[in-house]
């Protein structure tokens, strides 16, 4: 629990709520983060019982039911073939990525998989620089390092616990 609180503290270091740089749009990011956490936990739980296709179908169906009503209020049909191709390509890659995400959760511990999401820090930071010319400041990088460090600590702790449990014979080694 302490490592989770340290990770959250890292988020607060990066975001700096209550300062001049705080933007209320941060709350949307926080909501997205909580939704992603709920999605990850639900996927991990359901993946143990249902196949990849079933889990993929229901999660996509839930996404459509939750997102379509507000999206339809501002929807504009793509104007050209290039836009349709881009949207379709994004959808196909998202479905493939989601299916792989589900399959990974069927085969590995969440604590083993989640550090791989830290790679998104690198890709998002790089995209922010390439597309918008944004360079993260020291406080943002410090917060990110705290978050990654706490996640890696959790990974290490889970593997130590698993080794100890196997040593006691509590978990069969495949």
Domain boundaries, the chain: 2-49+108-167
pLDDT at res. 173: 46
Higher per-residue pLDDT: 120 or 64? 64
pLDDT at res. 172: 52
Q: What is the pLDDT of residues 64-105, one digit of tens each?
A: 898 899 989 998 999 999 999 999 999 999 999 989 988 988
pLDDT at res. 21: 67
pLDDT at res. 89: 97
Q: Average of pLDDT values for 36-59?
A: 84
Query: What Cα–Cα distance (Å) separates residue 37 from each residue in 44, 76, 91, 132?
Result: 11, 30, 21, 27
DSSP string, 1-54: -HHHHHHHHHHHHHH-TTSTT--TTHHHHHHHHHHHHHHHHHHHHHHTTS-HHH
pLDDT at res. 174: 44
């Amino acid at each position: 629990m302490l490592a989770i609180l340290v990770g959250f503290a890292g988020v607060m270091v990066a975001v700096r709520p209550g300062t001049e740089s705080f933007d209320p749009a941060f709350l949307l990011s926080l909501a997205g983060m909580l939704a992603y956490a709920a999605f990850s936990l639900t996927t991990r739980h359901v993946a143990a019982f249902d196949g990849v296709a079933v889990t993929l179908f229901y999660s996509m169906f839930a996404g459509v039911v939750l997102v379509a009503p507000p999206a339809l209020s501002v929807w504009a049909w793509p104007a050209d073939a290039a836009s349709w191709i881009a949207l379709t390509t994004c959808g196909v890659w998202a479905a493939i990525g989601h299916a792989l995400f589900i399959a990974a959760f069927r085969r590995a511990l969440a604590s083993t998989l989640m550090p791989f999401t830290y790679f998104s820090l690198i890709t998002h930071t790089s995209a922010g620089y390439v597309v918008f010319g944004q360079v993260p400041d020291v406080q943002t990088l410090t917060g990110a390092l705290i978050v990654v460090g706490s996640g890696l600590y959790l990974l290490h702790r889970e593997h130590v616990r698993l080794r100890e449990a196997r040593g006691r014979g509590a978990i069969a080694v495949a």
